[in-house]
Amino acid sequence: FLMNAKIQDSSLYLGLPWCEVNGGNATHVELTVAWNDCAIRLVNNETTYTASVTLFNTMDPYRAEGGTVEVPRIRLEVPIMCTYVKSMLISTDLGYMG
């Protein structure tokens, strides 16, 4: 049970501190990074690619709605893993590619 465990959207980042929130709306935040950035690990086997990275938050003080300065009480360290199926495009007639 956590009381007042508010985490500021602007404190979130993926892998490395400069990989921060870069979009969103009133209810969601978006953190988008390239495959080779932000300490993402890409692993593949015969059928899939798996990208993994960790979601963190900074512990920087912030100004709450009432104007008081608060320090986060929770440190996030959430593993994020996305798996994609490999696919191949095979053409049997190279005469049309050209």
Report residue 23: phi and psi, to 5°: 175, 180
**Which tens digit of pLDDT belongs to each residue from 21-41?**
999 888 888 998 888 899 999
Per DSSP, what are the bridge partners of residue 74?
none
Q: What is the pTM of this model?
A: 0.73
Residue 2 binned pLDDT confidence (cut-offs 50, 70, 90):
very low
Instruction: Please work out, in degrees rounded to the nearest 5, the angle formed at the alpha carbon of residue 53 by the alpha carbons of 49 and 58.
Output: 165
Q: How many residues does the chain have?
A: 98
Report residue 13: phi and psi, to 5°: -155, 155
Of 84, 81, 63, 85, give the one whose Cα is nearest residue 14.
81
